[in-house]
């Protein structure tokens, strides 16, 4: 007999004690496509000129230093040229022009935030404020981009990348007059996260918002399969021996706390509270929005979304752009209460 147990449902009774969370958790799974974010005044990508607001924030020099994780060298590169290498690395160039512009403004803001916070070097790469890897925001040179794409990619798409950066030149995001740290990620799974549910700090512009247009993301749904024994061994190798066996996992694994964005903050395994982030790392999952399905001696871990879930969803931005929203609307949707301003 197929012993198929869906733990998420087993623990549903527990979730009923926190009704708002349980609604978010399950609603999202079954009603993912959601409703339009802004029902009125949809712009159909029409770009009004961003607010004629200016900030005194600016960069001291047109040239910036970037630590190259691959070569351990420091590259000196033009500020806006660097952004082109970020936009092309962080988003597929096939994305809608408005999504690419949203990425360009986010990348510029992130860079300036880093330059101001770490003018002499970030603690993990002390020679430069930003690096070329995932640790900061991914940057690739033109040669690397050409080598990693199909023949003809450069001719077809480079001008589109340039346009995204040049048409938004100097534009950055501020909140209450200050530059923001515009975190972004691949795919939220339907709703983004409050910053304090993922990192320690509650940031007013990094609030949980709907992200309903991620249907095209290849990372929307993920799956990891392992044997029950491997699952138990991995858990016990980190957290010590527990009273968990193939035939009692459904009783021993309980859902703890769920974030407003629908991701798992904690689960309880045999009375041990373990964070969703630790489980994500332990089983190399795409996100902390996961559930377990056991079939006999195999466990499948299903995930929704990809990345930390805070700030702008890149696939959500693409979906919004296809729905007719322009880059300003996309940015203001994902970063609560921000303004788009021009650097002097
Ligand atoms: Zn870095």
Neighbouring C-beta atoms of residue 24, cutoff 10 Å: 21
Q: What is the pLDDT of residues 63-80, one digit of tens each?
A: 999 999 999 999 999 999
- Structural element, H or E, at residue 321: helix 314-322
Ligand 1 centroid, distance to 135 Cα (angstroms)? 4
pLDDT value at 121 more than 60:
yes
Q: Residue 195: helix, strand or coil by DSSP?
A: helix
Residue ranges with strand state E in the chain: 4-6, 54-55, 63-68, 73-78, 130-131, 171-175, 178-179, 184-185, 221-227, 253-255, 266-269, 272-275, 290-295, 298-304, 312-313, 339-343
Ligand 1 centroid, distance to 50 Cα (angstroms)? 30
Q: What is the mean pLDDT of the chain?
A: 86
- Structural element, H or E, at residue 341: strand 339-343
The tally of CA atoms less than 13 A away on the side-chain side of residue 292 is 28
Higher pLDDT, 55 or 158: 158
pLDDT value at 61 more than 50:
yes
Q: Confidence class of residue 2 from pLDDT cuts 50, 70 and 90? A: very low
pLDDT value at 155 more than 80:
yes
Ligand 1 centroid, distance to 43 Cα (angstroms)? 36
Determine the pLDDT at residue 44: 62
| Predicted structure pTM score | 0.81
Ligand 1 centroid, distance to 83 Cα (angstroms)? 15
- Cα–Cα distance, 337 to 276 (Å, whole number): 29
Determine the pLDDT at residue 25: 25
Ligand 1 centroid, distance to 51 Cα (angstroms)? 31
Ligand 1 centroid, distance to 149 Cα (angstroms)? 24
Q: What is the pLDDT of residues 240-281, one digit of tens each?
A: 999 999 999 989 999 999 999 889 999 999 999 999 999 999
Q: What is the pLDDT of residues 11-57, one digit of tens each?
A: 333 333 333 333 222 222 222 233 334 444 455 676 655 555 666 56
Ligand 1 centroid, distance to 91 Cα (angstroms)? 18
Ligand 1 centroid, distance to 137 Cα (angstroms)? 7
pLDDT value at 234 more than 50:
yes
User: Are 324 and 44 a contacting pair, CB within 8 Å?
Assistant: yes
- Cα–Cα distance, 308 to 208 (Å, whole number): 12
Bridge-based pairing state of the strands 290-295 and 4-6: antiparallel
Percentage of the chain beyond pLDDT 70 is 82
Ligand 1 centroid, distance to 73 Cα (angstroms)? 13
Ligand 1 centroid, distance to 69 Cα (angstroms)? 8
Ligand 1 centroid, distance to 86 Cα (angstroms)? 13
Ligand 1 centroid, distance to 129 Cα (angstroms)? 7
Ligand 1 centroid, distance to 222 Cα (angstroms)? 27
Ligand 1 centroid, distance to 308 Cα (angstroms)? 16
Ligand 1 centroid, distance to 66 Cα (angstroms)? 9
């Amino acid at each position: 007999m197929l012993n198929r147990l869906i733990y998420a449902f087993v623990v549903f009774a527990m979730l009923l004690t926190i009704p708002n969370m349980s609604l978010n958790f399950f609603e999202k799974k079954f009603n993912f496509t959601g409703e339009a974010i802004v029902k009125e005044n949809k712009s159909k990508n029409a770009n009004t000129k961003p607010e004629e607001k200016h900030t005194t924030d600016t960069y001291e020099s047109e040239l910036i230093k970037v630590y190259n994780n691959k070569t351990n060298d420091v590259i000196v590169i033009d500020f806006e040229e660097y952004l082109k290498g970020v936009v092309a690395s962080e988003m597929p160039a096939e994305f809608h022009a408005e999504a690419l512009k949203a990425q360009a403004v986010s990348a510029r803001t992130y860079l300036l935030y880093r330059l101001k916070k770490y003018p002499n070097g970030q603690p993990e790469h002390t020679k430069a404020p930003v690096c070329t890897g995932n640790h900061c925001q991914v940057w690739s040179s033109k040669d690397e981009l050409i080598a990693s794409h199909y023949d003809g990619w450069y001719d077809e798409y480079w001008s589109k990348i340039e346009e995204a950066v040049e048409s938004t030149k100097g534009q950055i995001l501020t909140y209450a007059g200050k530059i923001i740290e515009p975190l972004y990620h691949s795919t939220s799974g339907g709703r983004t996260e409050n910053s304090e549910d993922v990192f320690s700090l509650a940031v007013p512009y990094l609030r949980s918002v709907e992200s309903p247009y991620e249907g095209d993301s290849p990372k929307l749904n993920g799956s990891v399969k392992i044997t029950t024994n491997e699952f138990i061994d991995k858990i016990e190798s980190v957290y010590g021996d527990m009273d968990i066996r193939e035939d009692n996992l459904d009783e021993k694994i309980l859902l703890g706390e769920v974030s407003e964005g629908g991701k798992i903050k904690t689960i309880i395994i045999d009375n041990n509270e373990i964070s969703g982030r630790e489980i994500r790392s332990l089983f190399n999952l795409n996100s902390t929005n996961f559930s377990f399905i056991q079939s006999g001696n195999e466990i499948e871990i299903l995930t929704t979304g990809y990345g930390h879930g805070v700030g702008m969803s890149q696939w959500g931005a693409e979906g919004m752009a296809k729905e007719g929203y322009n880059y300003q609307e996309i940015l203001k949707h994902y970063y609560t209460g921000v303004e788009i301003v021009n650097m002097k």
